[in-house]
Structure 1
Amino acid sequence: MNDRPSLLATHAFSNPAAVAGGLAPDVAAALLASAGDITLVIDADGVIRDIAITNVDLAAHGFADWVGQRWIDIATGESNPKIKQMLADIDCGEPARWRQINHPTASGDVPVRYLVMRLGQGGAIAIGRDMRAAAAVQQRLLQTQQSLERDYIRLRQAEARYRLLFDLGTEPVLIIDAATRRIREINPAATRLIGGKDGAFTDQPVATIVDPADREELIAHLGAASASDDLPALSVRLASGHEVAMSARLFRQGRAALLLVRLLPSAPVRETGGFDAPIGDVIEHMPDAFVLVDGALDILFANAAFVELSGVASVARVVGAPLATWLGRPGIDLELILGQLREHGAVRNVATILRGAAGSPEEIEISGVVAPHGGSQCYGFTIRSVARRLRSVPTAERDMPRSVEQLTELVGRMALKDIVRESTDLIERLCIEAALAYTSDNRASAAEILGISRQSLYSKLHRHGLGNLVSDDN
């Protein structure tokens, strides 16, 4: 084994013996002491025999009192294996390398970075450098890195919120490069207004989105917006044909000058699933009546069919009025319909009546649905007249109800005494029909079964329209 292995660098002195021989002992000691903040002279048993300290702060922490102590005893537990390894390396002739050793003190652990070299007679010399300044720099670097990461996370979160607001906003907005007049960003609302696919306008000249006749005026307006913030909105026609008021405001992002451009349509642009007809026009011209009411069942909107069905002079007479003024039997139908709406969210084809201005009730079917409106609930109803599909209501004694179902339908349309009279007539008619069927249309026998005279039977037959006045006595 080579008795003189390399200690530090590959380019060492070519004749170290000559260098060392030319140094006086005090000069050599001064050089070793000045090589680090602390220098330890250690014997073969690992005991510190001498110490040199150039860092006054280390002396204040009691490092000068280490003479006579084992080096391993003045280090922290996790540093002991490092000390053993460094001492073993010099015995084996391994190249020396710097290792950090922590020393406990009253004010906390002090990190010192040591390089151990072999001396004669099995001793060693350990040159140490105080690492507290470097540790403080590393700590500040770590804190700075963590701060940058937190700032980056906040920036990403802010960017995500901005992107969400930008994409979900209902107002058409474009971001334009003030120097090149090209579109940097465009939100979906603006894409729909201009008429195109997502991403089709990015990095395109902004002049392409307007009618060719308005392009020069647009470029002039954007140039003026780069110099002033108080410009009025510019009215232009888009390539899609929509008339819009365009307003631009300059802002800076980094070193780039950008323009925030808002497009304000002259008329609302509704999303109708590919159809051009506005929903309001469709509802207004529906053949069935439509009415929208608030939570208190006061009318917010009614179409022309409802105005016609209710018989009022104009829609202004309807808006704001309670729906109960026209719809349903008082205190019955509307409360039942409202209960079903609150429980199930919708009702369909409920039979009821609508009381027109003329006073005569009309048979209707009503369907409804619950819809949120401004943080509260509103109800939409479609109303269809079914009078032509139903049997006419009996209005005279000659046209009586034919069944119990028809009698129950009279509730709300007639007074109770009139319904009782109609019920009596119905029962009388049903009994006469049963007696005639039982006697095979023998009126004399039928009168006997019913316990009335034949003349009284003939009168009732005539009143109920069941026969003529010709008797069957012959």
Structure 2
Amino acid sequence: MKSFATPRTTLGPLDAEAAAGLIAAAADLALVLDESGIIRDLAFGSDELAREFDGPEAWLGRHWIETVAKDSRAKVEAMLAPNAPRDAARWRHLNQMASRGATIPLLCSVAKLGQGGRHVVFGRDLRPLSQLQQRMVEVQQSMERDYSRLRQAETRYRLLFQMAMDPVLILDADQQKVLEANPAAQRLFGRAARRVSGRALADLFEAEDRPAVQALLATVRSAGRADDVAAHLAEGSIAVIVSASTFRQEGGLLFLVRLSPTQPGQPGIVLPEAQAKTLKVMEAAPDGFVVTDANAQILTANAAFLDLAQLTTEDQARGEPLDRWLGRQGVELEVLLSNLRKAGAVRLYATTLQGELGGRAEVEISAVSVMNGGQPCFGFQIRDIGPRSRPAARAAEGATRSVEQLTELIGRVPLKDLVREATDAIERLCIEAALELTGDNRASAAEMLGLSRQSLYVKLRRYGLGDLDEQQG
């Protein structure tokens, strides 16, 4: 340890008050010990630390070694040993006992005070450092978890990319150059596969098809979606259908381009002109149109449905269950699908559609079931009928008649009886509407109303609704 060279000259004469001030300012906790190691005086660097240690009264007259945790007592003995070398490491980590059995980590050093055998203990509070270290450990663990998830996601992406049956290319959106090509794309280009990476996508197609491919990329970049285009590869004149989508990676925009080869002499996914026009009409129709699989998972949806559901792109709807937006409490879609599977078609089914941003619309649905590749799929035409909603109109008429009848009783019966009558009228109206919506399916009506089946049967008897002699099954 290197001390001051000329302390008497540079520091001058210091009285006890000045020395005490310097000692208190130099540490968060300062202890003055006598030659036996008993605490005779102490100073805290902050009121908060003093409260942690229950103030000076809990310290004075006690041996310092009694105030530390058991695992730190050997360190205290070594620091106070009379034969301890002066050049030994002075700062030691100690766990100082605080109130209610807690311990506070301190970094302590001992210095002799004059010739009387007294010592001064300087203690620095290590809690801020410990908290910082703990946060660093938590941040490091969080980063490691994030890195692990990223590595797993990248592994899954690479595996899907390599195993995809369709030829897939990844392009730089700015220069439209090929960055990666999966094995299916390399097989498609054959001998020219080595020259694909780094080339502009348009250069891979015949000259007359390049404007259509470039227009496809421009439309996808600006609008997020575009119709597929037919083109021929420059090498071998292979006919393909080109589709594209965008995604972001590391702050940059990339294109994912799929090339679907068509069979020679067959149109592939290029539809006849009449069917293509029909699809364009459905896409631009003012009524919503949705196609789902057998489990009511959305396969495609037109712009009108996206507007009703308050979505911005079709990708937000694709793969989601239709009852995420359609129907009340998820019951109505099950009823609709049940009728659709039995009859093959449903007409003018009234329900509601809940948008992503909280908007609600009364809609009318016509649906049909068709077979596609041996599997059923469903098409839904969804029309916003607004104030023309027939269930809403009937409910409003019933409520008006009930209000008129109750109004005539004002002044004749107490208010609490009027409230009970109004509650009964509303309850009866809701039960009638639920039975109508479910086609008199009492189990579905009970689920829609949030009632048990037994409670629904009790209310049916109370209001004289339905066949009272029907078995409860």
Tell me the TM-score normalised to structure 1 length: 0.50
Pick which of 240-249 and 81-90 moved more.
81-90
Mapping 1:275-354, distance limit 5 Å: none
Matched with 1:81 is: 74
Matched with 1:69 is: 62
Mapping 1:213-292, distance limit 5 Å: 213-238=208-233, 239-267=235-263
Structure 2: which amino acid aligns with 1:84? E
Matched with 1:100 is: 93
Matched with 2:109 is: 115
CA-CA distance at 1:128 after TM superposition: 1.1
CA-CA distance at 1:222 after TM superposition: 2.2
Change (3 A) 1:171 1:86: farther
**Partner deviation per Cα, 1:120-179 (whole Å, 9 max, x = no partner):** 223321111222222222212211211111111111111111111111111221110011
Matched with 1:471 is: none
Matched with 1:52 is: 43
**Partner deviation per Cα, 1:236-266 (whole Å, 9 max, x = no partner):** 1112432111112222223211111111222
Structure 2: which amino acid aligns with 1:183? V
Query: What is the distance in 1 between the residues matched to 2:55 and 2:194?
Result: 70
CA-CA distance at 1:28 after TM superposition: 1.5
Q: Is there any run of 5+ residues in structure 1 with no aligned partner, and where?
A: 8-12, 269-373, 375-474
CA-CA distance at 1:115 after TM superposition: 2.5
Change (3 A) 1:107 1:181: farther
Change (3 A) 1:117 1:203: farther
Which residue of the other structure, out of 166, 171, 175, is the alignment partner of 2:166?
171
Secondary structure of 2:106's partner?
A: strand
Change (3 A) 1:256 1:70: same
**Partner deviation per Cα, 1:315-356 (whole Å, 9 max, x = no partner):** xxxxxxxxxxxxxxxxxxxxxxxxxxxxxxxxxxxxxxxxxx
Query: What is the distance in 2 between the residues matched to 1:21 and 1:104?
Result: 38
Change (3 A) 1:82 1:214: farther
Matched with 1:379 is: none
CA-CA distance at 1:216 after TM superposition: 4.5
Checking the alignment, whether the CA contact within 8 Å between 1:90 and 1:118 is kept in structure 2 is: no
Structure 1: which amino acid aligns with 2:28? D
Secondary structure of 2:62's partner?
A: coil
Structure 1: which amino acid aligns with 2:261? P
1:153 aligns with 2:148: yes
Secondary structure of 1:94's partner?
A: coil
**Partner deviation per Cα, 1:35-94 (whole Å, 9 max, x = no partner):** 222101123333322211132233223362222222222222332333334345994221
Secondary structure of 2:223's partner?
A: coil
1:143 aligns with 2:135: no
Structure 1: which amino acid aligns with 2:129? A
Change (3 A) 1:217 1:198: closer
Q: Is there any run of 5+ residues in structure 2 with no aligned partner, and where?
A: 265-373, 375-473
Query: What is the distance in 2 between the residues matched to 1:100 and 1:197?
Result: 69
Structure 2: which amino acid aligns with 1:40? L
Q: Greater share of helix residues, 1 or 2?
A: 2
CA-CA distance at 1:195 after TM superposition: 2.0
Matched with 1:416 is: none
Structure 2: which amino acid aligns with 1:24? D
Mapping 1:373-388, distance limit 5 Å: none
Pick which of 228-237 and 99-108 moved more.
99-108
Structure 2: which amino acid aligns with 1:101? L
Checking the alignment, whether the CA contact within 8 Å between 1:48 and 1:71 is kept in structure 2 is: yes
Checking the alignment, whether the CA contact within 8 Å between 1:90 and 1:96 is kept in structure 2 is: no
Change (3 A) 1:39 1:240: farther
Tell me the TM-score normalised to structure 2 length: 0.50
**Partner deviation per Cα, 1:360-383 (whole Å, 9 max, x = no partner):** xxxxxxxxxxxxxx9xxxxxxxxx
Query: What is the distance in 2 between the residues matched to 1:148 and 1:54?
Result: 36
CA-CA distance at 1:33 after TM superposition: 0.8
Change (3 A) 1:222 1:37: same
Structure 2: which amino acid aligns with 1:43? D
Query: What is the distance in 2 between the residues matched to 1:53 and 1:102?
Result: 16
Aligned length: 262
Give me the identity figure in percent. Answer: 38
**Partner deviation per Cα, 1:444-471 (whole Å, 9 max, x = no partner):** xxxxxxxxxxxxxxxxxxxxxxxxxxxx
Checking the alignment, whether the CA contact within 8 Å between 2:228 and 2:243 is kept in structure 1 is: yes
Query: What is the distance in 2 between the residues matched to 1:83 and 1:196?
Result: 79
Change (3 A) 1:155 1:89: farther
Which residue of the other structure, out of 18, 21, 29, is the alignment partner of 1:27?
18
Query: What is the distance in 2 between the residues matched to 1:134 and 1:22?
Result: 36
Checking the alignment, whether the CA contact within 8 Å between 1:90 and 1:116 is kept in structure 2 is: no
CA-CA distance at 1:199 after TM superposition: 6.4
Checking the alignment, whether the CA contact within 8 Å between 2:205 and 2:231 is kept in structure 1 is: yes
Matched with 1:405 is: none
Query: What is the distance in 2 between the residues matched to 1:111 and 1:82?
Result: 13
Checking the alignment, whether the CA contact within 8 Å between 1:234 and 1:247 is kept in structure 2 is: yes
Checking the alignment, whether the CA contact within 8 Å between 2:78 and 2:84 is kept in structure 1 is: no
Larger Rg: 1
